[in-house]
Each structure stands twice: as C-alpha cells, then as structure tokens.
C-alpha cells in the first residue's frame, strides 16, 4: 500500500468533532451575553416598558397637545372623559399632558445623573484599585466620608438656596451617586491588575493612563453596565421624593413627584386619577430598570448564565 507523502495529506476537517457532531462557530462573550439577555422574558419586558415611557414622554407630546401651562379654572378636577383621557388637576391642567411633561424630567435626570455617576465612579475606582497602597486607602476613606453625609439633606439645602432645574439636580444626584460605582469598579480592578495581560502591558511600557483606558475599564465594563440601570432607577426615585416634598423642579418644569404631591392632597375627595396614574408610572419605570439590571448581571456573569 502506497503511503501518502506529507504534502499530499488531506486537509483537516475542523468543522466536525471526532464523534461526528458539528462544531459551530466560536461566539464572543458579548454575543453570548446578548443572546442570554434576549432569552430572558423579564428583561425583554423591562426593555419594552422603558422604551414605552421614553416614547410616551418625548414623542407623545408631538401628537397629544394637552394643556399643562395655562390654568383653566372652569375644568378643575374633571374625571377622565373624552376631552381629558386622564382627567384634570385641581388647577385645570390636563393630567395626561402633565404625565408626559413629568416623564421627560424624570428620564432626563435619571439618565444624565447616571452618566455623571458612572463616569466619575469608574475613573475614581479604577485609579484607586490600580495604584493600591496608601493612596488607595486614602481614596476609599474619602468615599466613606461622602457616604456618611445625608444625601437628601444636602439636596434640600441646594434646592432651596439655588433653585432646582434638570441640569442642577442631575449634577447634584450624580455627584453623590458615584460612590457605589467607585467601590464596585475598584473591587473589579483589584482582581484584574494581577492578571497576565496587565502584567504584559506593564512590561511593554504602558502608562497608568493606558492601563486604565485600554485594559482595566474595558474589562470592568460588565460591572459598569449593570450598575447604570440601578443608578437610573435610584435617580428617578430621588427626584420623585424631592418633588413629593415640594423641593423638586421649578415651574414650568414638572416631575412625577410634584404631580404625586399635588394629587395626594385631593385623594380623600375621590380624585384618584391625580394619584394612581403617576404612581403607576414611577413604579413601572423603576421596576423596568431593575429588571434590566438583574438580567444584565445574569447575562454578563458567565457563572450565572443558563446552560
């Protein structure tokens, strides 16, 4: 029997396993995470709810021109009817239009403050975890000091002294919300900095700035993404609480907390449409953010993925 020469060996079939089963294409970790997220029904529900409120708040006013600026004393406390799908307030404003306007403020503050908190917290935590030692201890003690300050008390003082707007509240909430992301990113960086690829980058002469920007933060991105959703939910609750206490956005800006505070006053008179719809909006948006956050945590963590 003639033997095959080395040059005439048949090409190795890498598309089939030794047992005969087909081997599919290798998928990246992010693609697997997206697939896992899409298979989570609660996650899809959360995304659908959040997308609905984004369209409701920002696209809805284009098609529904309700009155939320000029008081109409002839139409105060009207129940839901043809002209007013969700009734009117005690000053004659259209409740549906107020919900849309309040949703804009809540979502803007939620996303903007979350972005501020994540940017500050991620950089702070990455620097603290990378340098380590005495400086790391000092930076973490600064975080502990900020955590001991009553956040709501400071916000109330600033709101009374300087007034509240979407920008000021977003910056203020973000300035106090970066502490948790900083701790999370620091913990992740502490485990990453001893990995081989970081050691190789050090040997290659990479600066600390390059280590943080090219190696540490991208690999800690999963923790950051998950925390963003919880930051948005917390910010929406913060602004709702401020509005309920009467220290929310200034007129003509409205937020859901303002509407809830005004409606509770007249709830005993039977004007339920001034309380329940806005309360449902707050609950649904916060629940949607939490569902998305839980699903992202499960999909990005290999240990929590369903087999």
SS3 call for 36: helix
Q: How far is CA 150 from CA 146, 147, 153, in A?
A: 9, 8, 5
The superfamily in CATH containing domain 45-65+84-304 is MetI-like (1.10.3720.10)
Work out the widest C-alpha separation in the chain, in whole angstroms.
Answer: 105
Tell me the mean pLDDT in the region 81-107: 85
| Average pLDDT over the chain, rounded to an integer | 79
215, two tokens:
């190696």
Neighbours of 278 (CB within 10 A): 26
DSSP class per residue in 144-167: HHHHHS-HHHHHHHHHHHH---HH
pLDDT at position 134:
86
pLDDT per position as a tens digit, 187-235: 888 888 778 777 787 787 777 787 777 777 777 777 888 888 888 888 8
Could you tell me the pLDDT band of residue 155, with boundaries at 50, 70 and 90? confident
Q: Is the pLDDT of residue 19 over 80?
A: no
> Where do we find the tokens 């907390």?
257
Q: Is the pLDDT of residue 18 over 60?
A: no
Tell me the mean pLDDT in the region 45-57: 92
How many CA atoms, within 13 angstroms, populate the side-chain half-sphere of residue 59?
Answer: 6
Could you tell me the pLDDT band of residue 284, with boundaries at 50, 70 and 90? very high
Structural domain spans, the chain? 45-65+84-304
DSSP label of 70: S
Could you tell me the pLDDT band of residue 28, with boundaries at 50, 70 and 90? low
Q: Is the pLDDT of residue 249 over 90?
A: no
Neighbours of 93 (CB within 10 A): 24
SS3 call for 22: strand
What is the percent of the chain where pLDDT is above 70? 86
pTM of the model: 0.78
As a whole number of angstroms, the distance between CA 105 and CA 230 comes to 18
Could you tell me the pLDDT band of residue 22, with boundaries at 50, 70 and 90? very low
SS3 call for 16: strand
């Amino acid at each position: 029997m003639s033997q095959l020469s080395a040059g005439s060996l048949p090409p190795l079939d890498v598309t089939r396993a030794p047992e005969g089963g087909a081997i599919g294409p290798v998928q990246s970790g992010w693609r697997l995470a997206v697939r896992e997220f899409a298979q989570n029904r609660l996650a899809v529900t959360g995304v659908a709810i959040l997308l609905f409120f984004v369209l409701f708040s920002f696209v809805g006013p284009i098609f529904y021109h309700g009155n939320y600026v000029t008081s109409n004393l002839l139409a105060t406390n009207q129940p839901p009817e043809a002209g007013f799908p969700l009734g009117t307030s005690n000053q004659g404003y259209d409740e549906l239009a107020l919900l849309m306007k309040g949703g804009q403020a809540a979502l803007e503050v939620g996303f903007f403050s979350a972005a501020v908190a994540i940017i500050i917290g991620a950089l702070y935590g990455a620097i603290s975890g990378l340098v380590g030692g005495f400086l790391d201890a000092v930076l973490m003690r600064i975080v502990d000091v900020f955590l001991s300050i009553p956040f709501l008390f400071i916000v109330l003082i600033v709101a009374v002294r300087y007034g509240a707007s979407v920008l000021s509240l977003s910056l203020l909430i973000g300035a106090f919300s970066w502490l948790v992301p900083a701790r999370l990113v620091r913990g992740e960086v502490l485990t990453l900095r001893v990995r081989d690829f970081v050691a190789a980058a050090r040997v290659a002469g990479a600066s600390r700035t390059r280590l943080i920007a090219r190696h540490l933060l991208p690999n800690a991105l999963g923790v950051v993404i998950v925390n963003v959703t919880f930051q948005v939910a917390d910010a929406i609750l913060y602004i709702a609480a401020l509005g309920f206490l009467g220290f929310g956005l200034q007129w003509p800006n409205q937020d859901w907390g303002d509407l809830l505070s005004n409606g509770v006053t007249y709830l005993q008179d039977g004007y339920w449409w001034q309380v329940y719809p806005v309360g449902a909006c707050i609950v649904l948006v916060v629940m949607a953010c939490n569902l998305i956050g839980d699903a992202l945590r499960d999909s990005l963590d290999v240990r929590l993925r369903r087999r």
